[in-house]
Each structure stands twice: as C-alpha cells, then as structure tokens.
Structure 1
Amino acid sequence: MPRSQAAEIMDDPGQSEADFDAALADLARINRMTFATTPLLRFLDRVAPDHHREHPGEALSVLDVGAGGGDALRAMAEWGARRGVALDLWGLDRSPWAERHAMAQATPARWVTADLFDLPAERRFDVVVCGLFAHHLDDATLVRFLRWLPAHAARRWLILDLHRHAIPWAAVWAGTRLLRMHPMVCHDGPVSIARGFDRADWQRLIAEAGIDATPRWVLPFRWAVEGPGGA
C-alpha cells in the first residue's frame, strides 16, 4: 500500500484555536498511552554523555521540529532533571497556537514560530529531533528535510514516526472513537498512519537525499531514523 496523500485537518490553518488546542491535548494523551517518547529519551541517554565529556559544563542544545503542544519537550526536561543533565530546549512549529498551547502547559523551552525551512542556515543545535511530524510532509519535501537535518544538527539528529500498517490503523481508528477524542483527532489519526512509512520508503528517501542515516523499527509500530550531524 503506497503512502496516502490525504490531507490532515490539523494542517489546515483555517481551524480554530479552540479546536487546535483540544486536538493537541488529545494527541498528548495518545503519546503517553503509546510511550511515544521512550525512543527519544533512549536516544538522549546515548548522545548526552559524549556531549558533556567533550563540553563539560555546557548545556546540550536540542531543537524539536514540529513540536506541537510541547509534550516531547516536557518529557526531555523531566529526563534531564532526573539525570542531572543540563539542556537548552527549543521548540519549532509554524502554528502560533502550538506555542501558546505549549506555554500554557509550562513547557520549559524557548520557541521559534516559523516554517522550518525559514530557519537561518547558521542556526545550529547540538541535537535536532522530530517526533510524529515527518508524515505530514510529501516525499519531495521530506527529502529536503532529510538534507536539512544534518545542516542544523552539530552532533546527531533523530526522526520518530509512524509505521504504515493495518494493525495501528485499526487501533487508532477504534481507540480515538472509544475514548471520545476530538473529531480532528478521530479523522487525522488514521490518516496519519496511512501517511506513515515502511522500511522501503525510508531506504528510498534516504538514498534520494544522499545522506548518512539508519532506519530502525521500534515499538509500538514506529520508525526511528537517525543520522550524524554536520559537525
């Protein structure tokens, strides 16, 4: 089954702030239930020690692209507090409502409200991460994004996104309705799965981008795609 090109309601700037806010809250619930940040925090467990060994006393700067409501940033902040790791957290999202929602949730991060491709070429971070955002991009834009990542990450970068498969599609379709989630989430959840990826997609896209990256399948029905920064 090829990647779906169906539109997600959340990508429509004509949606109201109240609907967007409610959808972000429900998406955070889904992320908690599916342990969405577990691979992200394991990634930081690997990356942070090398950074602090090479740059003692210097905070690890992390940019979250497509940060949405900031739940991944809050999880990273909690991880840093538990580990005693200093972090300089940044969120990037083109929706101004995303920043307002994240700040209302006391997200301990600085924010950039912009299209990711408008970020100045010289603006770099130690680590760039991207959770459940890549499937919003068509193939051509995703190839451009894959080239963008090592240009803006000095050390490592990580994409976490959905595996396109009938099992998660059915689970999300049923679960969002049983839990009476916002209509935007009920619509966009299954569409997101259909816009997701399989291994062949990632191998093709990485080859087209001409970058060094490795896709790994992670639970539950997710892909982790990681590569080195352009140090």
Structure 2
Amino acid sequence: MSLSRRATQLTELMDDPDCDLRLLNNTYRHFGAINAVVAGWRGTYRRGIRPLLRHDRPTTVLDVGSGGGDLAVALRGWARRDGLALTVTGIDPDERAFDFARSRPPIDGVRFLRTSTSELVAGGERADIVVSNHVLHHLSADELLALLDDTSRLARRTVLHSDITRNRLGYAAFSVGTMPFFRDSFIREDGLRSIRRSYRPRELQRLVPPGWHAQARSPFRYVLHGEPRG
C-alpha cells in the first residue's frame, strides 16, 4: 500500500448515509477519547485560542463539522477552568451527528445547530473564531477551497482547521494502537482511511489561497491557519 498520494477513492464508513446507526453513534461516543490522544487540541487552544479570550466579555467560537460535539464541549471546559468567557456553537449538516450532539447533557455556553457554513454565510452570521477538527481530509479540492472561503468570511479574528497528516508512522501507530479497541464502532477502519485520505502540510500549502498557512504541529498532524476576509 502506497501513501505517496491521497487515497481520494476511499470513503469513510461513517459517511455512508445507510451505515449502521448503532456503530455510528458509538463512533461519535468514542471521538472524545480518540481526540484527547491524537487531535492535539489542548495545545491548539493554548496557542491559538486562549490568548484571544477575555474574562469580562464572551468570545464566540464556531466549530465546523462538529460531529459528536466533543471538541465544542472541551473548548468550553478549558476556557471555564481558565476563568475566561467563551461560547461555542457546533454546526454539522448531517442529521445523525446533530441528533447525537443534541442528546449530550446540556452545557451552558454550548449549542449545536444542523446547518452548513454556506447557509451561515448567506445569513450574514459571524463568529470571533472558527475552528474545525478532522474535516479537511473528507473534502475534495473544490470542497476544501469552498470551505476555506466560507470560514474566512465567517470569522472576525482567526480560523484554525486542524487535521491529521498522511504518513506511514502515523498509519502503523494508529493501526496497532486501536487494534484491541473500538470494535463496536467505525473508529479503526475509518481512522486508517482518514490517514490515507489526508493531506500533507506541503501539498496542502500548494493548494490553498494566499493568506492560509499549513503548520505542522507534530509528525502526525497540522493546523491550517487563516485570517478573516474583509
């Protein structure tokens, strides 16, 4: 198996509208544990979000493709522990993700909407900070550029798209590390497909418009940073 190019022909099991709903919900449920280990959002929060927050005035975050809602909840929790005012809106056009996120215990300052970035742009919506986690590798080149355009219009201050990097070490580590676990979900199979579909920072940098910067955070992941338009 070669990882020299993105395996764009692969489709993740959870993206199938007819996939097993029990396995899908278990996948959403496990995302919190998986992301805590591999997503690196604690560091991204400290570097890219916390410096923009205030104690006396809420900062708004839009979490694009929020899935099961674990990132939205985590960001709100970290800010609260730091004594900073933050509200998070998670959006996902997939009804199944929206239903799962909405079933979570209510948390003050966190809400979920079933909508898309294009609908929010059309409605004139804005947020101070726009983020996404593990969304970019799902997209074709045209879909990626459309998302970047939308998120740069939605953000007042900054955009942070975080995702995994395609490499053999990450593929082997994820394959071995998840083998005994998550058999009641799509985590392992979809995680391996995700790595094969993912961008490398340099190839992503060649694709994105001026003003976007893909920065490697480790051998396994990167953050694509963009500024607001207008």
Residue identity (%): 27
Alignment of 1:5-20 (within 5 A): 5=8, 6-20=10-24
CA deviation vs aligned residue, 1:104-129 (integer Å, no higher than 9, x gap)? 33253222212332324311111100
Correspondence for 2:153: 151
Give distance in 2, aligned partners of 1:103 and 1:160.
23
Contiguous gaps of at least 5 residues in structure 1: none
Kept in 1, the 8 Å contact 2:117–2:151? The answer is: no
Give distance in 2, aligned partners of 1:224 and 1:120.
23
For 1:184, give the aligned amino acid: F
Superposition deviation, residue 45 in structure 1:
1.8
Superposition deviation, residue 220 in structure 1:
5.8
Correspondence for 2:50: 45
Superposition deviation, residue 183 in structure 1:
4.6
Cα 1:171–1:182 change in 2 (3 A) is farther
**What is the Cα-based RMSD across aligned positions, in Å?**
1.8
Correspondence for 1:29: 33
Cα 1:22–1:45 change in 2 (3 A) is same
Structure 1 window deviating more from structure 2 (36-45 vs 154-163): it is 36-45
Task: Give 1:200's match in structure 2, choosing from 175, 199, 202.
Answer: 202
Alignment of 1:170-181 (within 5 A): 170-181=172-183
Correspondence for 2:228: 229
Instruction: Calculate the TM-score normalised by the size of structure 2.
Output: 0.89
Correspondence for 2:58: 59
Correspondence for 1:113: 114
Give distance in 1, aligned partners of 2:78 and 2:139.
29
Cα 1:119–1:128 change in 2 (3 A) is same
Give distance in 2, aligned partners of 1:32 and 1:107.
21
Instruction: Calculate the TM-score normalised by the size of structure 1.
Output: 0.88
Superposition deviation, residue 4 in structure 1:
1.1
Cα 1:112–1:103 change in 2 (3 A) is closer
**Count of equivalent residues:** 222
Superposition deviation, residue 155 in structure 1:
0.7
Give distance in 2, aligned partners of 1:26 and 1:90.
21
Correspondence for 1:168: 170
Give distance in 1, aligned partners of 2:77 and 2:104.
14
Correspondence for 2:95: 96
Work out whether 1:129 is the aligned partner of 2:128.
no
Kept in 2, the 8 Å contact 1:155–1:230? The answer is: no
Kept in 2, the 8 Å contact 1:26–1:181? The answer is: no
Cα 1:22–1:151 change in 2 (3 A) is same
For 2:157, give the aligned amino acid: R
Kept in 1, the 8 Å contact 2:202–2:214? The answer is: no
Contiguous gaps of at least 5 residues in structure 2: none
Give distance in 1, aligned partners of 2:26 and 2:152.
33
Task: Give 2:193's match in structure 1, choosing from 186, 191, 194.
Answer: 191
Superposition deviation, residue 181 in structure 1:
3.2
Q: Does the residue aligned with 1:178 lie in a helix, a strand or coil?
A: coil
Give distance in 2, aligned partners of 1:200 and 1:45.
27
Give distance in 2, aligned partners of 1:178 and 1:195.
23
Kept in 2, the 8 Å contact 1:70–1:107? The answer is: no
Q: Does the residue aligned with 1:119 lie in a helix, a strand or coil?
A: helix
Cα 1:102–1:2 change in 2 (3 A) is same
